[in-house]
A and B are shown apart, each in its own frame.
Chain A
Amino acid sequence: MLIMFNAFWVLLKRDLLLALRRRSEVFTVLFFFLIVISLFPLGVGSEDATLKKIAPGVVWIAALLASTLALDRLFANDYVDGALEQLTLAPQSLPIMVFAKMIAHWLLTGLPLVLISPLVGLFYHLPTSTIGVMMLVLLLGTPVLSMIGAIAAALTLGLRGGGVLVSLLVLPLYIPVLVYGSGAISTSMVVGLSIQPYLLLLSAFMLLALIFSPWATASALKISLE
């Protein structure tokens, strides 16, 4: 048990260290998110009411696209240099190892989006309370994106043109998060409506993904490595 926990930490720290050595990969995702978001006011117009109306959807769609952009790197590097093969042969349960990689991936690609989202709120003239809600739902929703995405990334590992295939596989699966995530932000701008149901549903998605995705991803990796 202790060894397993140790290996979990070692892998998590390794992935963070690798990202630290190659910071550009983290920043590309973040800038992609910001650029997509700043394109919308240019195309749609910058009236206050319009911006407030589209903001929830825009934030979430940008987050979905940014997270799919980051997905093919989740296992691809380890696959190419053989580290993944060694990982599956390590004397630890593979789902636990996969979970460590998912957490590292979220810390590097999901969490930065959460932290930068107040800036988006300013772009779109959102009230402060709504910015708070936006950060909260992104905090609940982005881990789900990483975890569902990991399954698709594992399935398409080593395929030619896998990057596009990942987007096709994974974007439809992101729909529930998109619907309830942006729903929560829109609702928070209406006086008198509660956002609690949205938060509960998003939390439920997260728990569900937490339980199933490490196992599904581990099985998919084994298939991809054959």
Chain B
Amino acid sequence: MILEVKNLQCIRGDRELFTDLSFQLEANQLMILEGQNGSGKTTLLRSLCGLYLQDEGDILWDGVPIQKQDENYHRDLLYLGHLNGIKADLTVIENLRINAALAGNTPSLDVLMGALDTIGLYAFEDFPTSQLSQGQKRRVALARLLISKAKLWILDEPFVALDVAAVELLQTIIANHVDNGGMVVLTTHQEVPLTSGKIKRLSLNEKPLDDGEC
């Protein structure tokens, strides 16, 4: 499995976010995306998922453009954006089970409870998510990482709203995934220490900010 990005260009309105962007990501690699606010980090991540159609260039998964293999690619992909994707009217466990089922997994109750235990939501399983705090809601979303069988994780600011303990926990989860042959692309201002594997860095700050001002 390999994620290849070739000469990617994205234009929003009349602003060029990035152009001629190329990189490769292989198993056991973590890519940290850097850039100031508005530099196009989220747009790049959404392009990698196929949610945003790039203006130029190709994104290849296993050598095939992702637009040509929607379902196959989605099976290997887990995306966590700014929105948690959980329903406020459902309980924690219902959210987790439904999200897993929609992603094509049917984990047993033990697996689900184990994931909630690990993520620090033990005994919260029957709470409606509307009653949880912001950080706890984020944890419900992150519990998906523990259940998912996806190879490629694309995480947009995954550390936001988490407390110190949860940040450490997430760092471990990400490091474990990379250890086990996974790939992770993320944007963050947090360091992610790895026990093995390789960290790649990509900066979208090529142009000074005052360049396009008028």
Please report A residues at the B interface, Cβ cutoff 8 Å.
3, 6-7, 10-11, 14, 17-18, 21-22, 77, 80-83, 85-94, 97, 225-226
Contacts and interface: CB of A to CB of B under 8 A. Distances in A.
Interface in B43-89: 49-53, 70-72, 74-75, 77, 79, 81-89
Contacts, number: 77
A81 B72 CA distance: 25
6 contacts: A11-B102, A17-B94, A83-B86, A85-B79, A85-B81, A90-B103
Interface of B: 49-53, 70-72, 74-75, 77, 79, 81-90, 94, 98-99, 101-104, 106
Contact of B71 (A85, A86, A92): A92
B176 to A, nearest CB: 22
Nearest to B71: A91
A29 B50 CA distance: 36
B102 A81 contact: no
B101 A6 contact: yes
A17 B87 CA distance: 11
A159 to B, nearest CB: 17
A225 B51 contact: yes
Contacts of B89: 18, 21-22
A80 B77 CA distance: 22
Contacts of A18: 87, 89-90
Contact of A226 (B51, B74, B77, B82): B51
Given A80-B83, A82-B86, A85-B79, 4 more contacts: A81-B85, A81-B87, A85-B85, A226-B52
A10 B98 contact: yes
A85 B90 contact: no
A91 B75 contact: yes
A3 B90 contact: no
Given A18-B90, A81-B85, A86 B104 contact: no
Given A18-B90, A81-B83, A93-B71, A88 B104 contact: no
